[in-house]
Structure 1
Amino acid sequence: MTELRTPPTFDGDLFRERVRAYAEERPFERLHVLDAGCGRKAPLELGAVECHVTGVDVDLPDVRARVRVRRDLDAWHLGDLRTVPMPPRVYDVVHASYLIERIPHAELVLDRIVAALKPGGLLLVRFHDRDTAFGRLDRVAPRWLRSVLWQRETPPHAVYERAASLSGMRAYCLMRGLVVTEEHTSAATVTRSGLAVTMLCRALAALSRNRVTSAYSEATMVIRKPENRYARII
């Protein structure tokens, strides 16, 4: 179910702004935030919003090293995302950035994340879309080419299950009774990777007759868990 769909854009402050708006609806409350996929270097930008932030991610040496130096996390748990602690109906907001495409059993993990949300809570998810030219290259490219694509330390090989796409996430939300309030797309990863990657993506899009697109590389969705207890929610 989709309540609102915005034109394809990208707003780097989207997460902070949506958390701020959510907090304004609940004055004098300390928000509980779950950072799913916390093993990245960048901290969450929450502004002046008072939050308790818990991080979860897979337990890999490089992920553990990055989590240990983050100062914005009040607590964190690493391990199998099908079993790491995510108590039900605890979190006001879940932030899941570049997580869905790199894990197996993505829908099962999403089910646990949604179950951890309070009714009325927000899920803000960002992922590289498997149906884009960049997503296709990232799925099939050898390691040396992936290092060119990413222009930095190559991340673990991505899994790209069906949920790691706009169509897959729309279907997931429809089946779970979740409300998609915003969708944004961006070509930021391709742009950062340089002209060679841009031309590769365009060539792949042309060869596929645009069945895979080079118009964007990643998508961001703002999803709300209904407050109505009779709605079909986890």
Structure 2
Amino acid sequence: MSKNTINPALTPKPRKRAKRHTETAQFDAFVRRILRAYARRVADGDIEALRMLAGLSAEVDAVTRAAVAGLRTKPYSYSWSQIADRLGVSPQGAQQRFGKPSDRNALDRRLLESGLGVTLATLVQVFADHHPGNPPASRCPGCGYRYPDGVSDCPTNATVRPLLYKRRDENRAEVARLSADAFTDLHEPVKARFRAAVRQAANPTPSPDLPRPTLFDLPGRTRRDDNH
């Protein structure tokens, strides 16, 4: 076998192929195009795929939670205030929605920290942050709690609602800061129950990866026959 006569010093090293880098904005645009194309395929008569398409909302929540977890760890260590600012929510809401799973069914920190001394202004702000909106969301915008059938409040607002209603006359101007939907919801709970019924009809099947809480299920509630 002949001896290798190649002189390493005179032989140029092969160039490493440059790593392709996709800008986040370009990747975002690509994902949006895929989703729109998916919607067009379903709209073109594929009704069986509708459930899978709707289930992507839960997937987006899950991957957003993973992204937030990465931003919270070293070497980035972004604060909850910085994350909340990008999401357009309060730091407490961001922490409850995207923090540890146990936090998403816990009471808002502002209530726990204030205790019996909670101010009316705090009750108003917490109620507003956790209000499901109109049209109603399937999850609380403040803590990510998935509303069970027949339930219109997350655990936080289920606690805040009676307290705020009882103390509403302490400062009517403060209560008037609520949005029109939240103000009406506070004073007319029957509409809240109707809102929950509309949400149930629009979203009959919850995401399979999340348990359906029953803590606040209304006693004696009966389901209507879907074929009725």
Q: TM-score range by the shorter chain?
A: under 0.3
Structure of greater relative contact order (alpha carbons < 8 Å, 6+ residues apart): 1
Q: Which has the higher helix share?
A: 2
Q: Which has the higher strand share?
A: 1
Structure-1-length-normalised TM-score = 0.24
User: Which one has the largest radius of gyration?
Assistant: 2
